[in-house]
Chains A and B, each alone.
Chain A
Amino acid sequence: AQKITQTQPGMFVQEKEAVTLDCTYDTSDQSYGLFWYKQPSSGEMIFLIYQGSYDEQNATEGRYSLNFQKARKSANLVISASQLGDSAMYFCAMREGRGATNKLIFGTGTLLAVQP
């Protein structure tokens, strides 16, 4: 079974509008972390935002915010005021496991295209 599910293979958004990228996860751990990464067409992986499973407030980093709904096991990324430079692939990831089995796994990604 997929541990990280991103159901939107691709999305369009108009410049200056907000967009939500969906991510659901599956884990039996009580302690875990959720991450979002951006991969532009140049290929590098850029860390955007992080949410810990015990964090009570949703994480925010500039125009990025993470809508964390623990009971639903979802960690959606919200990008406000989209810019052309936001066009990229976005990956949701989860840190799970303890000690020697601690690992970081990724979803299949969402390709976002920002239109002028």
Chain B
Amino acid sequence: IAGITQAPTSQILAAGRRMTLRCTQDMRHNAMYWYRQDLGLGLRLIHYSNTAGTTGKGEVPDGYSVSRANTDDFPLTLASAVPSQTSVYFCASRKGAGNTEAFFGQGTRLTVV
């Protein structure tokens, strides 16, 4: 089934540990995004990529890094997790840079303790 998949669905992580959230899409979408969702703050853009090989910083990039080695995958890495990174993380993709809607993964619930 075509779509966008995130892994893991949930994780409890010790502070200071390194963690990579995985995101894969099979729709050949050029643009991909990572958001974090926190109560009262909506979805905030962490990093984005408009094509393989390029990435950009969003609204809240500090403490996170991404890579886009190919069209399908867009992993998000927390180099040294902190409790303030406890959140629900959503990956999304869009066909191109135009006005097409974004498709979302099911989310990853991350708790940093």
Interface size on A, residues (CB 8 A): 25
Using A43-B106, A45-B104, A107-B42 as known contacts, say yes or no to A102 and B92 having CB atoms under 8 A apart: no
Using A91-B43, A108-B40, A108-B42 as known contacts, say yes or no to A102 and B50 having CB atoms under 8 A apart: yes
Find chain A residues with CB under 8 A from B42 CB. 6, 91, 106-109
Contact B58 A106 (CB under 8 A): no
Using A33-B99, A44-B106 as known contacts, say yes or no to A104 and B56 having CB atoms under 8 A apart: no
Find chain B residues with CB under 8 A from A45 CB. 90, 92, 102, 104
Using A43-B106, A108-B40, A109-B42 as known contacts, say yes or no to A103 and B101 having CB atoms under 8 A apart: no
Closest B residue to A89 using CB positions: B42
Using A99-B97, A103-B45, A104-B45 as known contacts, say yes or no to A44 and B104 having CB atoms under 8 A apart: yes
> Is B22 an interface position by the 8 A CB rule?
no
Count, A-B residue pairs, CB within 8 A: 65
Name the residue in A35, A91, A99, A102 with the highest tally of chain B Cβ atoms < 10 Å from its Cβ: A102
Contact A100 B94 (CB under 8 A): no
Contact A103 B58 (CB under 8 A): yes
Contact B94 A104 (CB under 8 A): yes
> How far is B39's CA from A9's CA once the two chains are assembled, in angstroms?
11
Find chain A residues with CB under 8 A from B35 CB. 106
> How far is B101's CA from A95's CA once the two chains are assembled, in angstroms?
9
Chain B positions within 8 Å of A, measured between CB atoms, are: 31, 33, 35, 40-45, 48, 50-51, 54, 56, 58-59, 88, 90, 92, 94, 97-99, 101-104, 106-107
22 residue pairs A–B, Cβ–Cβ below 8 Å? A44-B106, A44-B107, A45-B102, A47-B101, A52-B99, A93-B102, A100-B51, A101-B56, A102-B31, A102-B97, A103-B45, A103-B48, A104-B48, A104-B92, A104-B102, A105-B58, A105-B59, A106-B43, A106-B45, A108-B40, A109-B42, A109-B43
